[in-house]
Amino acid sequence: MRRTLSLLALALTAGLTLTACGGGDDEASDSASPSATASESSPSAEPSEEPTQSPTASATPAAGSTPSWAEPAVYAGTKLGSTTVAGRGLGKGKLAVTVYQVDSLDSPSDGTFADVGQSTPKIKKGDPLIVLDYVLTNTGSAPVTIGNLGVEHELAFGKAKLDTQDVLVDPTLIDGYGLHGDIQKPTYGEESYPVKPGESISLAEAVLSQPGKPLTFTFGVTPVKKGAVSYDDQTTSKPLRTTPTAG
């Protein structure tokens, strides 16, 4: 699944604009580029009125401060692992990414997006979902300025790559955990997003799960330099491989 860590208002909720599609190779270099990017605007879904399960985790403030443009960084659930986006393209900046499994549940509603050539949403009410929370912290000694491409991420269960139609757009579900499906405050109108050393940002999403299968994440940043997105400086983490716990 390939979406960009959505730094643009909540209606998006397909993302952090995280990109979710993912990894298959055993190694990834810091300069590798993610394979595809989805549109940053997605139709919003009707929140479910009667969730089938109550939240089992509640949010805790993340370590460090939060950039002035961002919603408070919070986390919830069980830590699945961490990886770091670092390399020449980011200079002395580093983004440490920690992934949490917030919950496993049955989808409270049908999804929003359909597979290509299909007329009904891929996610059906009752399908297994996993709620994930991503906390990104600049552990380097220089700011990292993210552009409007966001922080990309790729996500795959085994060899099965996820895409936008594998994401449940339901702000009510995410809000129920005290998390948020958008990073940027609605009042922020710029197209660059600086994260200073020690600052953290976070975002949560619910995706179609494949219980029992390993899950691989890869994160990437295309930074802003001299006022413009610098594609030559795109930097990607090594894959994070983990197996979520059963719901």
Q: Convert the pLDDT of each residue in 115-168 to its tens digit.
A: 888 889 999 999 999 999 999 999 999 999 998 878 888 999 998 888 889 999
Write down the pTM of the prediction: 0.79
Average pLDDT in the 235-243 region?
95
Asked, for residue 15, whether it belongs to a domain, the answer is yes
What pLDDT does 61 receive? 85
Mean pLDDT of 49-65: 65
CB atoms within 10 A of CB 186: 10
Q: Is 227 inside a domain boundary?
A: yes
More confident: 180 or 40: 180
| Average pLDDT taken over every residue of the chain | 80
Give the total number of structural domains in the chain: 1
Q: What angle do CA 203, 205, 207 make, to 5 degrees?
A: 155
57: confidence class by pLDDT, cuts 50, 70, 90: low
For residue 143, tell me if it sits in a domain: yes
Whether the pLDDT of residue 27 is over 90: the answer is no
10 within some domain = yes
Q: What is the pLDDT of residue 185?
A: 84
pLDDT, mean of residues 91-120: 93
* 49 lies in some domain: no
**Higher per-residue pLDDT: 38 or 232:** 232
- Residue 51 in domain: no
When pLDDT is averaged across residues 76-93 and rounded to a whole number, the result is 94
Three-state SS at 157 = strand
Is the pLDDT score of 12 beyond 90? no
State which residues form the domain around 76: 2-43+56-242
Does residue 233 form part of some domain?
Answer: yes
Instruction: Give the tokens for residue 242.
Output: 């983990």
50, part of any domain:
no
